[in-house]
Amino acid sequence: MKKLSLEQLELKATEIREDIIRMLENAGSGHSAGPLGLADIFTALYFDILKHDPQKPNWVDRDVLILSNGHCVPVRYAAMAHAGYFERKELQTLRQFGSRLQGHPERQKLPGVEHTSGPLGCGLSQACGMALAMRMDKQTHRWVYVVLGDGELDEGNVWEAAMLASKYKLNNIIGIIDRNNIQIDGPTEVVMPLEDLKAKWEAFGWHVIEVNGNDIESVIDACAMARAVVEKPVMLIAHTIPGMGVDFMEYDFHWHGMPPNHEQAKIALNELRTLKGKIRSEHE
Amino acid sequence: MSERNLVSNLMSKNITTEPIRKGFGRGLLKAGQLDVNVVAACADLTESTQMHLFKEAFAERFVEIGVAEQNLVTVGSGLAAMGKIPFVSSYAAFSPGRNWEQIRTTICLNNQPVKIIGSHAGISVGPDGATHQMLEDIALMRVLPNMVVLAPGDSIEAEKMTIAMANDSRPNYMRLAREATPVFTTTKTPFEIGKAYVFEPGNDVTIVATGTMTYHALVAAEKLYKEGIDAEVIHVPTIKPLDVATILKSVRKSRAVVTAEEAQYTGGLGGTIAELLAEEIPVPLKRVGIIDRFGESGKPDELLKHFGLSTENIMLAAHIVHDKKLQN
């Protein structure tokens, strides 16, 4: 796939956000804050970082992308449609009967979705299994990227996987934590404090890189650095703004599991359209 | 006995015994030799679950997970996603006891051919007590779409079953037992996933048994014959999908049924057969198994007796359903 310029990537992220708003409004249910916050990371992944072929989703040399926090799947669907896995109009079938775009992603429904997820805490373990299999098969040219939510880190299963990846020095895993500081019941540090998060992962034997997850260039650079690390798996702690790009959603945990209604969607789309690629500069 | 290809000294006190899990260990080693994609992972019970034979032969295809059963099955899911055929083992109390949701989502809904091995199932685990005597595993696994549920009768069948599992494209669960139990099948006894086998033909009562209880059912049938009941014994190593045709064919003839298993019969083999008969052929039914309670410490034999899982319990149940049938 031809690589996009930074300006084109930022425009793509905005288009993906617009599609997320339309999909959620149309579906009438689903999660808003996480997908909007992850739009820059998924743009960076699908349009720069990942080695993949939308025409051949099962290409044997592809990188694997796992979305462990499956509820954020609208951003993945939107990015996949823009990358050419399927037509954009199918995005409007999200969560509807008969759709390939299930409320939480299912491997057997949609080519290009590598695994079924939704119940939290399982993605990193599956990434470990995939990374171990790649190593057994001496596939040193492939990477497993796994996106995790920060609230998801409450799950013990994540830390079981963290120990295993470290034990087997699975440097072919690059984890990306969506550190947006919210979960359903409120701020992560109130519901179940995660800090010192960097120290936790380092104590588990991981190389940790902190990055602005709403800065596409930084995400691309961080992944390049991550691929250069040997002997350790790498975790990116990607600081993101939940609801990024839509003023009334940003930082508000109430938007974790809520879709916009028609009026709210209109306001959101107007904001996104007028700001276009300049969204980030409004908040820096 | 030659027709069924079972051992000739079935009723002898000197029948050879061996833990079922040993057959699994040999089968896994063979499966590993037959297919380079067969891999194994264990949660800190490698020798106990008999995976050490595979580990010693194929160190680079073995993953030691540590005491982390949730991770065990989800790593298995990831291995399968990359084309591997992973066998993942622990004690049944912990896997599938602890990690049911991970099995549901990442293996069954995801439809990955992970082979879950639950060792030390049943009351006969003995002195370890109720925490380790897994009795609910059949029920837990049987309700999951895509899952195949297997319970071998002895170590020889476990060996054949393991090799068959490696060639099966579905998620599988196999329950194993700790103690040495009679080896009553031979290398010539047929085995296929999805098939039930008439090990003893008869007309008066159908005894449907799984796992180690099939041996007790065969002994019971032999004794029942002397008491005037000609029982047919059907061995069900595959609890799901159930070989409905073989069972219904027998029940149409006998019109009285006993089930036998070393597990909670609610949701287990007994539950399976009760559901089938209620819809297809409602006939007198008596289920031998654990009745809605936990086990306790003790010697395997005294526990089996105390919890009503002996040859005598099967015989009594056969008399009850036979009498009921005659009264109807």
CB contacts of A160 in chain B (<8 Å) are 65-66, 68, 70-71
Nearest to B259 by CA among B203, B295, B217: B217
Would the CB atoms of A129 and B61 count as touching at under 8 Å?
no
CB contacts of A156 in chain B (<8 Å) are 70
Structure tokens at A206: 């991981």
**The one-letter amino acid at B143:** V
Structure tokens at B175: 């329950």
Give yes or no for B39 touching A (CB within 8 A). yes
Would the CB atoms of A119 and B110 count as touching at under 8 Å?
no
Q: What is the DSSP string of B250-270?
A: HHHHH--EEEEEEEESTTSHH
Would the CB atoms of A160 and B61 count as touching at under 8 Å?
no
On whether the CB atoms of residues A46 and A85 are closer than 8 A, the answer is no
Residue showing tokens 């809904």: B109
For testing contact with chain B, the best of A120, A145, A160 (most B CBs within 10 A):
A160
Please tell me the total count of domains within chain A: 1
**A73 falls within a domain:** yes
Q: Complex ipTM, two decimals?
A: 0.94
Would the CB atoms of A131 and B78 count as touching at under 8 Å?
yes
Closest approach of A28 to chain B, Cα-based (Å): 25
Give yes or no for B90 touching A (CB within 8 A). no
Closest approach of A112 to chain B, Cα-based (Å): 12
β-pair partners for B62 = B40
Continuous segment of H or E residues that includes residue A158: helix A156-167
Continuous segment of H or E residues that includes residue A186: strand A186-187
- What is d(CA A207, CA A201) in angstroms, rounded to the nearest whole number? 8
Q: Which residues contact B310 (CB under 8 A, 6 or more apart)?
A: B216, B304
On whether the CB atoms of residues B123 and B309 are closer than 8 A, the answer is yes
CB contacts of A118 in chain B (<8 Å) are 105
The CATH number of B18-182, from 3.10.50.40, 3.40.50.970, 1.10.10.10, 3.40.50.300, is: 3.40.50.970
**Tens place of pLDDT per residue across chain B (328 aa):** 445 799 999 999 999 999 999 999 999 999 999 999 999 999 999 999 999 999 999 999 999 999 999 999 999 999 999 999 999 999 999 999 999 999 999 999 999 999 999 999 999 999 999 999 999 999 999 999 999 999 999 999 999 999 999 999 999 999 999 999 999 999 999 999 999 999 999 999 999 999 999 999 999 999 999 999 999 999 999 999 999 999 999 999 999 999 999 999 999 999 999 999 999 999 999 999 999 999 999 999 999 999 999 999 999 999 999 999 999 8
For testing contact with chain A, the best of B35, B61, B95, B105 (most A CBs within 10 A):
B105
Between β-strands B231-235 and B257-264, what pairing exists: parallel, antiparallel or unpaired? unpaired
On whether the CB atoms of residues A242 and A37 are closer than 8 A, the answer is yes
Output the CA–CA distances (angstroms, integers) from residue A74 to A38, A71, A79, in the order listed: 10, 8, 8
On whether the CB atoms of residues A245 and A17 are closer than 8 A, the answer is yes
Q: What is the DSSP string of B180-204?
A: EEE--B-TTS---TT--EEEE--SS
Continuous segment of H or E residues that includes residue A144: strand A144-149
* Vertex A163: Cα angle to A159 and A165 (nearest 5): 110
**A131 falls within a domain:** yes
* Residue A26 burial (10 A CB sphere; 0-12, 13-18, 19+): middle
| Helical ranges in chain B per DSSP H | 20-34, 52-57, 69-81, 100-102, 137-142, 155-166, 213-226, 244-254, 269-280, 300-306, 311-327
Would the CB atoms of B106 and A127 count as touching at under 8 Å?
no
- What is d(CA B317, CA B228) in angstroms, rounded to the nearest whole number? 14
Closest approach of B113 to chain A, Cα-based (Å): 13
Would the CB atoms of B110 and A108 count as touching at under 8 Å?
yes
Taking any CB pair shorter than 8 Å as contact, residues of chain A touching chain B are 64, 106-108, 114-119, 121-122, 125-134, 136-137, 156-157, 160-161, 163-164, 167-168
What are B60-113's pLDDT values in tens digits? Answer: 999 999 999 999 999 999 999 999 999 999 999 999 999 999 999 999 999 999
| pLDDT of the residue at A3 | 86
On whether the CB atoms of residues A66 and B81 are closer than 8 A, the answer is no
Sign of the CA dihedral with B302 first, then B304, B309, and B311 last: negative
Would the CB atoms of A132 and B101 count as touching at under 8 Å?
no
Residue showing tokens 């003995």: B126
Would the CB atoms of B79 and A116 count as touching at under 8 Å?
no
Give yes or no for B110 touching A (CB within 8 A). yes
Closest approach of A164 to chain B, Cα-based (Å): 7
CB contacts of B65 in chain A (<8 Å) are 160, 164
**A218 falls within a domain:** yes
CATH assignment at residue A27: 3.40.50.970
Would the CB atoms of A128 and B78 count as touching at under 8 Å?
yes
With CA atoms as reference, the chain B residue closest to A58 would be B82
Can you give the residue ranges of every domain in chain B?
A: 18-182, 197-327
Ramachandran angles phi, psi of B149, nearest 5°: -115, 120
Would the CB atoms of B110 and A116 count as touching at under 8 Å?
yes
Would the CB atoms of B81 and A156 count as touching at under 8 Å?
no
| pLDDT of the residue at A278 | 57
* Residue B220 burial (10 A CB sphere; 0-12, 13-18, 19+): buried
Sign of the CA dihedral with A155 first, then A157, A158, and A160 last: positive
On whether the CB atoms of residues A30 and A261 are closer than 8 A, the answer is no
Closest approach of B137 to chain A, Cα-based (Å): 21
Output the CA–CA distances (angstroms, integers) from residue A237 to A16, A154, A227, B15, in the order listed: 22, 15, 15, 62
| pLDDT of the residue at A133 | 98
**A1 falls within a domain:** no
Residue showing tokens 């409320």: A103
**A247 falls within a domain:** yes
- Which residue ranges in chain A fall short of pLDDT 50? 276-277, 279, 281-284
The CATH number of B197-327, from 3.40.309.10, 3.60.20.10, 3.30.450.30, 3.40.50.920, is: 3.40.50.920
Residues of B marked active site are found at 69
Q: Which residues contact A198 (CB under 8 A, 6 or more apart)?
A: A208, A210, A237
β-pair partners for A147 = A67, A176
| Alpha carbon of residue B262 to chain centroid | 9
Q: Which domain holds residue A32?
A: 6-282
Structure tokens at A200: 């936790």
Continuous segment of H or E residues that includes residue B150: strand B148-150
- What is d(CA B44, CA B47) in angstroms, rounded to the nearest whole number? 9
Nearest to A35 by CA among A259, A194, A261: A259
CB contacts of A157 in chain B (<8 Å) are 70-71, 74, 102
Nearest to B166 by CA among B75, B322, B53, B31: B31
CB contacts of A57 in chain B (<8 Å) are none
Give yes or no for B82 touching A (CB within 8 A). yes
Would the CB atoms of A133 and B78 count as touching at under 8 Å?
yes
**A82 falls within a domain:** yes
| pLDDT of the residue at A1 | 66
CB contacts of A164 in chain B (<8 Å) are 63, 65-66, 68, 71, 75
On whether the CB atoms of residues B231 and B251 are closer than 8 A, the answer is no
